[in-house]
A and B are shown apart, each in its own frame.
Chain A
Amino acid sequence: MTPALGVIIGVFVLAIALGLMARRGHVMSLEQWSVGGRGFGSVFVFLLMAGEIYTTFTFLGGSGWAYGKGAPAFYILCYGAIAYSVSYFLLPIVWRYAQTRRLVSQADFFVAKYESKTLGVIVALVSVAALVPYLVLQLKGLGIIVSEASGGVITQAVAVWTSSIALVGYVVVSGVRGSAWTSALKDVMILAAAVGIGVYLPLHYFGGYRAMFEAVEAAKPGALTLPASGMSPAWFISTVLLTATGFYMWPQFFAGVYTARSENVFRKNAVILPLYQLVVLFVFFTGFAAMLVVPGLKGAEADLSLLRIVEQSFGSWTVGVIGGAGLLTALVPGSMILITAGTIISQNIYRVMAPNASDRTVSLVARSLVPVLTLVAVILTLRGGQTLVVLLLMGYNFVTQLFPALILSLGEHQRVSAASAIAGIVAGEFTVVLLTVTSASVATLLPGAPQVVKDLNVGFVALAVNAVVLTVVALATRVRRPVVTELVRNP
């Protein structure tokens, strides 16, 4: 057994042990399992939120984008900062409302605000449609990282199966507490691994950061700036705004908000998380170094650039640490996705179909869904073809469609009808599917438009359709709340 393999197995065992131990001293009701009994302080909420930023996508994809595309990768650094500054104001409102009504899922929020279980079912379906491919993405990344780091000793299939079984184990037992505990381990390793190699590689190969970027610019002129068309500044700005919009619409993120003990947690996090996100900078450094040191990876292979340069530059121990960190970047978000998907299906779909089900049954259904969802994800990971890529592309746009209905529900008085929210979301999702399947872009939709317009992220088209439909239906079905509620509120 190589040291790398030993480190990976060690990290794996430690993560599972932490995940299982996290349960101690807690009786697992649905509220405890899904949202940690709403008792998490700043550190745990921070870990959950940060756990969602550093997924396999940031790890492999961040370096892969820097490697393959150059400056357009910088968008990853921008959208988080913007989403966090908005979170300062948005999340306390969401948290307060969820707290008083003991909500456990994102769909619950819509059900309560719009007083519509149908809307809840639709939000739940959208969530699951976005979450399952996202889980598959994490498992795919996990398979690649572990098999690469083990030098092929562990095959992707073995890595995916073993990790999935362990994942199911601690998710069923500990729920979101397990995610928080394993997140702590993950963050320590990511900080050590990502920052370590990002600091070291440019110094080692080029003698400095500026020297590295100058070498990149000399080898690939234009790689460090945005091109005039295509991934231009217009693309960059629109993509950052769209991604920041969708950021907190991910159901596992939204439900993560409910775990907090007090609303001040979010305010503190809004201060710290932008700085924490700068770790991505070091992932970029690694990608740029790899561009010159391990050239020639094409297309999707660019995602392997981080692993390749690490293998070439370090001993087996370091490769093991990277492999272990990579394993955790998949396990933590994976666990959050499973908990969220299980909760949503049991709470917002099953409970609607079986209105007499007891809380105990719903909780049992939620946890029983975990192995089922995992099995589906594993099969898709190992067998999935082109359809999967399409689903992945749609995921972010799917959840973004929940944004208009959410924002309009934040005021104290509900002014927009459930029918309009449903119409907007359905129209938006339909547009997303249509745009993705036809691989449309603004340039193909509006061939005569100026370049700045052509480069805008096509996701805005779906959001615009959503907003227009929502507005039209809202005007047609205006909510006229009886004055009584006003009297009750302001005695």
Chain B
Amino acid sequence: MRRYRWLAAIPTLGMLGGVPFANRVRPYVLGLPFLLAWIVVWVVITSLVMATIFFLDSRRDAEIAGATAASSDNSSSS
């Protein structure tokens, strides 16, 4: 199971779920009004979360490929 893939839902829920509460001008963050800053931060988080999933997926794929290679070695030797 690749349960970590559910992480991908976090940015959408955070970004949109927070809009009613983040709908304000102050405090300014990095010179941006709060609502815009909120969205920008979540866009960056989207990228980070997808990078994490990509990393975990690649590791998982490598494991599976390794396991398949090992089992096919076994079957050919037996």
Contacts and interface: CB of A to CB of B under 8 A. Distances in A.
Interface of A: 71, 74, 77-78, 81-82, 84-86, 88-89, 208-210, 213, 217, 224-226, 233, 236-237, 240-241, 267-268, 270-272, 274-275, 277-278, 281, 284
16 contacts: A71-B36, A74-B36, A77-B39, A77-B43, A78-B16, A78-B42, A82-B15, A85-B50, A88-B53, A224-B36, A226-B35, A236-B19, A267-B50, A275-B44, A275-B47, A278-B44
Given A82-B11, A85-B12, A225-B25, A210 B31 contact: yes
Contacts of B33: 71, 213, 217, 224-225
B43 A71 contact: no
Interface residues of B, number: 31
Contacts of A278: 40, 43-44
Which of A268, A275, A277 has the largest number of chain B CB atoms within 10 A? A275
A102 B15 CA distance: 38
Given A88-B54, A209-B32, A272-B47, 4 more contacts: A74-B36, A81-B42, A84-B50, A208-B31
A71 B50 CA distance: 27
Nearest to B42: A81
A71 B39 CA distance: 11
Contact of B40 (A77, A210, A224, A267): A77
8 nearest A-B residue pairs (beta carbon): A209-B31, A210-B31, A224-B33, A233-B20, A274-B46, A81-B46, A274-B47, A271-B50
Interface string B57-68: 100000000000
How would you classify the secondary structure of chain A's contact residues: helix, strand, loop or mixed?
Answer: helix
Interface of B: 5, 8, 11-12, 15-16, 19-20, 23-25, 28, 30-33, 35-36, 39-40, 42-44, 46-47, 49-51, 53-54, 57
Given A88-B53, A224-B25, A82 B12 contact: yes
Contacts of A210: 28, 31-32
A408 B35 CA distance: 35
A81 B30 CA distance: 21
A233 B36 contact: no
A217 B28 CA distance: 12
Given A89-B5, A225-B24, A271 B15 contact: no
A213 B11 contact: no
Given A89-B5, A240-B16, A275 B43 contact: yes
Contacts of B28: 210, 213
A237 B21 CA distance: 12
A166 to B, nearest CB: 35
Contacts of A88: 8, 50, 53-54
Contacts of B42: 78, 81
A263 B43 CA distance: 23
Contact of A271 (B23, B32, B35, B47): B47
A226 B19 contact: yes
B8 A74 contact: no
Contacts of B8: 85-86, 88-89
B18 to A, nearest CB: 10
